[in-house]
């Protein structure tokens, strides 16, 4: 038996309880978690913004050590340090055939499986977003496991599984930020901090961080922001003023709210690019008129998992870590225990802090 954070139903509080994990079956691996990041997507699962089968063990950003493997698994062995990949590509759907593995149509099929049972009453449990990282150990499909490159601390490596892949990919793959460009990043949470570091790595000349909280300025500047704007009704105007009246070349929205998406779009220059990373609800409607779309010539695009290929991008990120360009530890503002996850959710709703990391 292992301890885990179970979501019994949408809208219900998490329950910290013991669960029974089976031995890994064919094509599976059992992993002992070293750490798991608390992502806003986990909060979105609890309130129904995103849907997965329940009851479920949440958590999708994690790293740990392989305990055992099932029949046919040869790419890893017990004792190997690994990062969990919550959205493994199938390699055969139309998106994968186009090379767009981040849009794989079968990436989340594993979330519908029963992977464990509650120890107290035998209730079937699903692995939230495939990997169920809010637990001391988990059993996952082998394609959800990526080898951790050397030189990356195992605990902090959990952040590579979502926040860093998403933020880095938003800058380098989706928005394609070039050296010398100006960038605005909306939202200074875990993904926003990773995005700021990625913009610095890309060589952006000016990086403007935007958040509702004045208390996050030092955090944003340490990640690479050259300027800080406290969100208000005049945010777009302030950013245009900082950039000689034009606006930034690229805006990356990491919040998922209609007003923030609209403001990010308005803060880009004529012909600029706005990339939306934040996951919003269906009630968040963004409107544009036909004339302004023509006049401004801006590009608005979505971004799924940083438009990343985790197997290809993880070694690149590891090299940035080893070289000191990417500081994983700087993204973490709270190191917590399993029981503290509800408090981390409350902090996210209140707009406090960066990334909370459950350390096992």
* pLDDT tens, position by position, 88-144: 999 999 999 999 999 999 999 999 999 999 999 999 999 999 999 999 999 999 999
pLDDT in tens, 324-334: 999 999 999 99
- Confirm whether 68 is domain-assigned: yes
- Confirm whether 292 is domain-assigned: yes
221 and 147 co-located in one domain? no
140 and 218 co-located in one domain? no
44 and 178 co-located in one domain? no
pLDDT in tens, 269-322: 999 999 999 999 889 999 999 999 999 999 999 999 999 999 999 999 999 999
Other CB atoms within 10 A of residue 77 CB? 11
Which burial class, exposed, middle or buried, applies to 283 when counting CB atoms under 10 A from its CB (0-12, 13-18, 19+)? Answer: exposed
pLDDT at 257: 95
pLDDT at 281: 87
Say how far apart CA 185 and CA 83 lie, in whole Å.
Answer: 26
pLDDT at 6: 96
84 and 209 co-located in one domain? no
- Confirm whether 314 is domain-assigned: no
What's the chain's average pLDDT?
Answer: 96
| Residue range of the domain that includes 80 | 2-161+327-359
User: pLDDT confidence of 353, banded at 50, 70, 90?
Assistant: confident
pLDDT in tens, 28-60: 999 999 999 999 899 889 888 888 899 999 999
State residue 197 phi and psi, 5-degree precision.
-65, -40
From first CA to last CA, the distance across the chain in angstroms is 15
Going by the DSSP 8-state scheme, the letter that residue 151 receives in this structure is T
pLDDT at 350: 86
45 and 102 co-located in one domain? yes
Q: What is the CATH number of the domain that holds 148?
A: 3.90.180.10
pLDDT at 258: 97
- Confirm whether 320 is domain-assigned: no
pLDDT at 123: 96
The pTM of this model reads 0.95
Tokens linked to 332: 């973490």
Say how far apart CA 190 and CA 331 lie, in whole Å.
Answer: 6
pLDDT at 51: 85
Say how far apart CA 254 and CA 355 lie, in whole Å.
Answer: 13
Q: What is the CATH number of the domain that holds 177?
A: 3.40.50.720
User: pLDDT confidence of 198, banded at 50, 70, 90?
Assistant: very high
Are 320 and 201 in contact by the 8 Å Cβ rule? The answer is yes
């Amino acid at each position: 038996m292992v301890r885990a954070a179970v979501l019994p139903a949408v809208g219900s509080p998490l329950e910290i309880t013991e669960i029974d994990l089976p031995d890994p079956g064919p094509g599976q691996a059992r992993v002992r978690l070293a750490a798991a990041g608390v992502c806003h997507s986990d909060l979105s699962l609890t309130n129904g913004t995103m849907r997965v089968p329940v009851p479920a063990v949440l958590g999708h950003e994690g790293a740990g050590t392989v305990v055992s493997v099932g029949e046919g698994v040869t790419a890893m062995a017990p004792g190997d340090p690994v990062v969990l990949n919550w959205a493994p590509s199938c390699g055969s759907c139309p998106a994968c055939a186009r090379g767009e593995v981040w849009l794989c149509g079968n990436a989340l099929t594993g979330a519908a499986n029963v992977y464990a049972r509650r120890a107290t009453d035998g209730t079937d449990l699903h692995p939230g977003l495939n990997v169920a990282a809010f637990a001391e150990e988990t059993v996952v499909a082998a394609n959800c496991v990526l080898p951790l490159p050397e030189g990356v601390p195992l605990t902090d490596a959990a952040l590579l599984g979502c926040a860093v892949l998403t933020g880095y990919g938003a800058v380098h793959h989706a928005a394609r930020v070039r050296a010398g460009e100006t960038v605005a990043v909306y939202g200074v949470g875990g993904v926003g901090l990773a995005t700021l570091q990625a913009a610095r790595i890309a060589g952006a000349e000016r990086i403007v961080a935007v958040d509702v909280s004045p208390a996050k300025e030092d955090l944003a500047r340490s990640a690479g922001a050259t300027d800080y704007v406290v969100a208000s009704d005049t945010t777009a105007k302030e950013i245009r003023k900082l950039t000689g009246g034009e606006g930034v070349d690229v805006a990356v929205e990491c919040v998922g709210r209609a007003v923030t998406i609209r403001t990010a779009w308005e803060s880009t220059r004529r012909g600029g690019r706005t990339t939306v990373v934040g996951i919003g609800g269906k009630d968040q409607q963004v409107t544009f008129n036909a004339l302004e779309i023509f006049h401004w010539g801006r590009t608005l695009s979505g971004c799924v998992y940083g438009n990343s290929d985790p197997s290809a991008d993880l070694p690149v990120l590891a090299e940035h870590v080893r070289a000191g360009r990417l500081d994983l530890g700087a993204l973490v503002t709270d190191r917590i225990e399993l029981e503290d996850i509800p408090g981390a959710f409350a902090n996210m709703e209140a707009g406090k802090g960066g990334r909370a990391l459950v350390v096992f």
